[in-house]
Amino acid sequence: NAGVTQTPKFQVLKTGQSMTLQCAQDMNHNSMYWYRQDPGMGLRLIYYSASEGTTDKGEVPNGYNVSRLNKREFSLRLESAAPSQTSVYFCASRNRDRGSGNNEKLFFGSGTQLSVL
């Protein structure tokens, strides 16, 4: 079991360029998430997918789009990168437990360090 796999690990973009961050999980989890981590701040939710076929905005969705391609894969797209999107991006997944108040833990990928110049 690889867990949650993210690619690429590092990326440098120029302002206005576009790119897609890929994420795949092999744990048969229903829910998948994209977070960004900035210095001195807690992880912030960009978008999530509670189940295959659904996506919803999180706390900071502006400038991003997502696709839940199938149960395994959840991609994050930056259509026109801006310097404010320089951050470390984490994909996560978990098995949503409807009966116990979201007690299920999140499993994270290793992150993508993105710099926008």
Instruction: State the residues that interact with another protein by CB under 8 A.
Output: 4, 40-45, 90, 92, 101-103, 105-106, 108-111
Q: 62 or 103: whose CB is closer to another protein?
A: 103
CB of 6 to another protein, least distance (A): 8
At 10, list the tokens.
Answer: 């590092």
Q: 45 or 69: whose CB is closer to another protein?
A: 45
Q: Which of 16, 101, 69 is nearest to 91 (CA)?
A: 69
CB of 17 to another protein, least distance (A): 24
Q: 4 or 24: whose CB is closer to another protein?
A: 4
